[in-house]
Amino acid sequence: MKLLEGKVAIITGATRGIGKGVAEVFAKNGADIAFTYVSSDEKAKAVVANLESFGVKVKAYKFNVSDYQATEAFIADVVTEFGKIDSIVNNAGITRDGLLMRMSEENWDDVMNINLKSVFNVTKCALKTLLKQRFGSIINMSSVVGIEGNGGQSNYAASKAGVIGFSKSIAQEIGSRNIRCNAIAPGFIATEMTDNLDPEVIKGWIQDIPMKRAGTAEDVANTALFLASDLSNYVNGQVINVCGGIQT
């Protein structure tokens, strides 16, 4: 059974990692996909070809999702090209880790703009369309770190906590219009974002995870599939952890 047949999904940051996994699972389930990226042209082409092989319509958009005007133009084009928006996965994100003592203002601003302002940009720009339609599922990528904090990631943790506060507020604002807004809090998911980490640090983390393995992009994508589908029609304003039990 295809859970997203005839639906249109927006996914930010789908050239790699979790976003790429979400796009593939959504396309396999019949959704047409508008995805964004900022620099990886070759990867974007490969993602388009892969998604099209599932028989769905796909369009890639290259722009910085922390730029409000560029986001406005993106949403306008999606509505023209695809006719509606069923789900939005605000996934694009970066890390610029470091202790506060050494954190530059630029590293703070970049993380807040790309991880949090982008969620405002896409949601705000899509709002009119969603309200007119009277349906939609917004899925925002947070992190376990946004719930419990993490030394050396104060910028990232603050941005991800912000994503949760934003998601819960939007759920309350527009739930009456049949628009749902939820957040996913992944734990340690093996992607290019985590490839740069010290292997010894990774080993230690895996020891602490009750399921004794890193998560996969597909693990997160399947949760996004649930939230985008009608199976979650009464799930609103929630944070769903996908973390192998490291946070309970």
Considering the rule CB under 6 A, would residue 162 count as an interface residue with ligand NAP? no
Residues 182-221, interacting with ligand NAP (CB under 6 A): 186, 188-189, 191-194
Considering the rule CB under 6 A, would residue 123 count as an interface residue with ligand NAP? no
Cβ closest to ligand NAP, residue 98 vs residue 133: 98
Considering the rule CB under 6 A, would residue 158 count as an interface residue with ligand NAP? no
3-class DSSP state of 104: coil
* Residue count, binding to ligand NAP (CB under 6 A): 31
DSSP annotation of 39: S
Cβ closest to ligand NAP, residue 46 vs residue 76: 46
State the Cα–Cα distance between residues 30 and 169, nearest whole angstrom.
30
Q: How far is CA 99 from CA 12, 109, 144, in A?
A: 28, 15, 19
CB of 34 to ligand NAP, least distance (A): 13
Of residues 37, 61, 68, 156, which has the active-site annotation? 156
Binding test (CB under 6 A) with ligand NAP, winner from 8, 11, 75, 114 = 114
State the Cα–Cα distance between residues 248 and 237, nearest whole angstrom.
18
* Strand order through the sheet with 136-141: 58-62, 32-37, 8-11, 87-90, 136-141, 179-186, 239-242
**Phi, psi (5° rounding) for residue 93?**
-165, 160
156 is catalytic: yes
Considering the rule CB under 6 A, would residue 78 count as an interface residue with ligand NAP? no
Ordered DSSP codes for 206-230: HHHSTTSS-B-HHHHHHHHHHHHSG
Binding test (CB under 6 A) with ligand NAP, winner from 87, 91, 123, 236 = 91
CB of 7 to ligand NAP, least distance (A): 21
Name the amino acid, one letter, at 50.
N
State the Cα–Cα distance between residues 91 and 191, nearest whole angstrom.
13
CB of 147 to ligand NAP, least distance (A): 11
Identify which of 34, 27, 35 has the alpha carbon closest to the alpha carbon of residue 5.
27
Residues 35-74, interacting with ligand NAP (CB under 6 A): 36-40, 43, 64-66
CB of 201 to ligand NAP, least distance (A): 12
Considering the rule CB under 6 A, would residue 13 count as an interface residue with ligand NAP? yes
Catalytic residues: 156
What residues make contact with ligand NAP under the rule CB under 6 A?
A: 12-19, 36-40, 43, 64-66, 91-94, 114, 141, 143, 186, 188-189, 191-194
